[in-house]
Amino acid sequence: MPPSHARRTPTVIVARRARPGREREFERWLRRLVARASHATGYVDADIQPPNALHPDEWVVVYQFVDAESLEAWLVSPTRATLLADGNELVESGAREQVVAVNAADEPVTAVSSVRVKPERIAEHRALHEQILADLSTTEGFVRVELFEPVEGVQDDTVVFITFDSRHHLDRWLGSDRRRQILDQMEALTDSARTVNVVGGYAGWFGGGARVTRWKSAAAVLLALVPTSLLYAWVRAAFFADVPLVVAVVIGNVFGIIVLTWLLMPAITRWLQNWLRR
């Protein structure tokens, strides 16, 4: 059996603040820095997290490398030093840097929630979403949350991605009393049943050995999820509008998993394969 450290991915988390008034330049510089890291030996993945409720004034970058030596080589490389010097005037002093070892066996798990929000209640729904975000920030295993609000002519539902580091932590949140209380408050703001599909970090949909960045994975899933949710809403309204809510949600979850796993995601990943792996 291999030693425990062989199952862990060296990861560095770097948090920086942009100088006031230089935010756009800072973002372009940061993305250039991360893009250059992707060419370093041993690079696995990088995730850029803009300021949010969890770190309101900071941009956070999470880098992963195959081993500690590769990570260290990137951190002290002349290429990185030059890029950091180029961005000095855009960054406030006091960057936070933390190196950790992430267990590669614990694949992140994402719950994809979709619901139709009444157009005049969008702002109230967003405020309740912020309450969920505040609660999630202190919840064990929480990784990130992303909110996709309706886009006229493209997407009618409000879609939320909530990611945890394990299925155990995700299930604990999904079954929590606090989540139930907030969903009860949201019920008056919505026009449809909420569907929730749990996916294992999207890994099963993006095979082939190449690493797909998280934001591209999320975009591909959203592209498949929107028509799936619309189709289910039409089927439910046409054939079983009077079915109890719990039964309708269960049927919706089964329907969504079948359509996404065996129909839409295979087609979409083939269609987008060149873009996904760039």
Quote the mean pLDDT of the chain: 77
pLDDT at residue 1 greater than cutoff 60: no
Q: How many CB atoms lie within 10 A of CB 211?
A: 15
Closest CA to 11 of 137, 138, 97, 110: 97
What pTM value is reported for the model? 0.42
Orientation angle between helical segments 245-259 and 214-239, nearest 10 degrees: 130
214 pLDDT band, cuts 50/70/90, is low
Max mean pLDDT range (21-35, 63-77, 100-114, 185-199): 21-35
Delineate the domains of the chain, giving CATH numbers in brackets: 4-103 (3.30.70.100), 109-276 (3.30.70.100)
pLDDT of residue 99: 63
CB of 57 within 8 A of CB of 17?
yes
Phi, psi of 192 (to 5 degrees): -150, 165
Angle at 155 between CA 111 and CA 275, to 5 degrees: 75
| Interval 246-278: pLDDT, tens | 677 767 777 777 777 667 777 777 677 667 656
